Amino acid sequence: MSTFLMKARIYKNVILGTNCEIEDYCEIGKPSGDKKKGKLQTIIGNNAIIRSGTVIYCGVKIGNNFQTGHHVLIREGNKIGSNVSIGTNSTVEVDNIIGDNVRIHSLCFLEKVKLGKNVFVGPHVAFFDDPHPSIPRGRNCIRGAVVKESAKIGGGSRILPFVTIGKNSLVGAGSVVIKNVPDNTVVVGNPAKKLKKIGDIICKRKGARHYPYDSLG
């Protein structure tokens, strides 16, 4: 199947892979306010499904098998791996690095964040990057969070600047993370506190008592 474009606007210097579906009212390669049209190349790999209302700015590089929900905003400077999905009404601001096999649910906000491979981000999660907003000199201090491979962020969580969330860790829903989380650790609360090791989690569903994260390294 060839790339399928409906009522979408594709700007100059956009490279689309094969078997892509771009739904109505999308904009791909949109120039930012200080860039001329088509100056920065936008690349989207094979088999993408870009759902209606999505806007992807120029200078974005995306791998194969990418999907968005409806009305997703992806700003310039993002580098996104393969097999990534970003849910409806999410905002991916500038300069994020998103690894392969990442799932970002609906209504999320990211800016200057690094997500490792196989990371799961629940709905309505916000990552912050500015430790002292509205102070001009403070712009030099902007830095987002780092989320390492196979970590899971529960829905409604808030992740502050400079935080590193370790490999295979779990942030409980609604948590506010203000400091680093070690590998293989569960944190919960506001501010998030260490609760247990990831290997201590037991599924208590009737007839299925087991350790659900045994297979993750």
Strand partners, 91: 73, 109
In order of start, what are the domains of the chain with their CATH numbers?
1-95 (2.160.10.10), 112-217 (2.160.10.10)
Looking at the chain, how many residues does it have? 217
pLDDT band at 3 (very low <50, low <70, confident <90, very high): low
Is pLDDT above 70 for 215?
no
pLDDT at 49 over 60: yes
Q: Which two tokens stand for residue 191?
A: 């501010």
Report CA Rg, the chain. 18
Query: Peptide bond before 161: cis, by omega within 30 degrees of 0?
Result: no
Q: Give the per-residue pLDDT at 23.
A: 95
Contacts of 150 (CB under 8 A, 6+ apart): 116, 117, 118, 119, 167, 168, 216, 217
* pTM summary value: 0.90
Has residue 57 got a pLDDT over 70? yes
DSSP 32: P
Confidence of residue 217 (pLDDT cuts 50, 70, 90): very low
pLDDT of residue 4: 61
Cβ(49)–Cβ(77) below 8 Å: no
> Distance between CA atoms of 124 and 107, rounded to whole angstroms?
5
Residues 6 or more apart whose CB falls under 8 angstroms from that of 125 comprise 105, 108, 109, 153, 154, 155, 156, 157, 158, 159
Distance CA 190, CA 105 (A): 22
Catalytic residues: 132
Are 19 and 1 in contact by the 8 Å Cβ rule? The answer is: yes
pLDDT band at 184 (very low <50, low <70, confident <90, very high): very high
Q: For 43-52, 156-165, 197-206, which range has the lowest pLDDT when averaged over its residues?
A: 197-206
